[in-house]
Amino acid sequence: MANGAPALLARGPWDASQVEARWRDQPFVPDAPATAAADAAVAELRRRGSPTHDGMSARMVEFDSSARHLRLELEPARWSLRLGRDAGASISALCVVRDAEGRWLAGRRAPWVATWPGRWALGAGGAVEVGENPADTLVRELHEEWGVRPRLLSVEALVRVPSGLILLVGLATLAPGGARVEMDAEHDAHVWWPPDPADWPPEADGQLRGMGLLLAG
């Protein structure tokens, strides 16, 4: 994540079935500065050899939450808008993973990836595909990045990070003996951090610790 404190927009937990997504038909039209920033971001990815290609993803228009539901109104938006200084409410899913012993799965992002290259991150994350419910994105990204399915899944929070990117944060718990994961090419290392975020190593920055404390609490 970018530097600075994320803002908590809504707090669950909700069951995945309680997350509703309504999609607008018309795509979001960014202004000229946002378009230029997206073009520059894609050009930079190509310059450093990233295979990432631009396309359409999701932007959050508004949301409504209660103890019984989280309703999201989304619209198609250019994926690369999230890479500029102002992500413009683009939305991604972050699936934080714990094993049956309470340990947290942390992976170091490969240097070629578009977002947070070379940094440690919790679990799996990625863009919401057009027409997809972000709660389904959590499970899809977990399987694509680590080759596992959760025993339990809760949707914990809706968070805005300083760049303006919105994160739907889920918590996946693996079955006993399920800590054997298959790392994808977007990571170059992984480790299981201790159950208490206070015991995490120095590479766990303040935002990662903050997310751990939010979910552990």
pLDDT of residue 5: 66
Contact 1/161 with Cβ under 8 angstroms? yes
% of the chain with per-residue pLDDT over 70: 97
Residues with Cβ within 8 Å of residue 29, at least 6 apart in sequence:
none
Single pTM value for the model? 0.93
DSSP H or E segment with residue 44: helix 32-47
CA atoms within 13 A on the CB side of 167: 23
Mean pLDDT, the chain, integer: 92
Residue 2 has pLDDT above 70, yes or no: no
Cα(100)–Cα(140) distance, integer angstroms: 20
CATH: 3.40.50.2000, 3.90.79.10, 3.40.50.80, 3.90.1150.10. Which one for 7-216?
Answer: 3.90.79.10
Q: Which amino acid is at 131?
A: G
Question: Percentage of residues in the chain with pLDDT exceeding 90?
Answer: 79
As a whole number, mean pLDDT of residues 190-199 equals 96
